[in-house]
Amino acid sequence: MELNSRKMKKSKPISEIMTKKVITLSTKDNLETAEYLFKKNKIRHIPVVKNNKIIGMLSYTDLLRISFADAVYDDEETIDTVVYNMFTIEQVMVKNITSVNSKATVKEVAEILTSKEFHALPVVDNNKLVGIVTTTDLIKYMLEQL
């Protein structure tokens, strides 16, 4: 009986643990806006959408890579806008993204995140962004099972 309940937990659809209210950016936004959203919402990944379709993913790490100021002055609230004005979201975001649909299982998503070394996956149904699942979401779910 215990084995059966474990199997059921692995096959739980990701839609039950994903973040449904996704904060997004568009290519019209700038990197200052992105930094503000990362810090205000305490998140590390933001999908970039165009006409409700996901076209890329921006991570806080992507911003840190281009920002010399933040690497040196980690405690500053904002990064020098001059650095941000040198790049667009489209230049910095990851374009070749992997996504899953909301019926994907927790196990499938965990396998993708570990094999690809990603930290977040957009959840897409019928070409529409419906959520995002992160390694933090998976860890929280695993902790609930213990």
Per-residue pLDDT of the chain (146 residues; tens, 9 = 90+): 444 445 447 789 999 999 999 999 999 999 999 999 999 999 999 999 998 899 999 999 988 888 764 445 554 545 556 778 889 999 999 999 999 999 999 999 999 999 988 899 999 999 999 999 999 999 999 898 88
Q: Give me the number of domains the chain comprises.
A: 1
Structural domain for 58, as ranges: 10-145
Long-range contacts of 108-112 (CB under 8 A, 24+ apart): 108/14, 109/14, 109/133, 109/138, 110/138
CATH number, residue 111: 3.10.580.10
Residue 4 domain-assigned?
no
Q: Three-state DSSP class for 122?
A: strand
DSSP letters spanning 67-83: -HHHHH-TT-SS--HHH
Q: Nearest 10 degrees: CA dihedral of 80, 95, 137, 118?
A: -100
Q: Position of tokens 């568009």?
A: 26
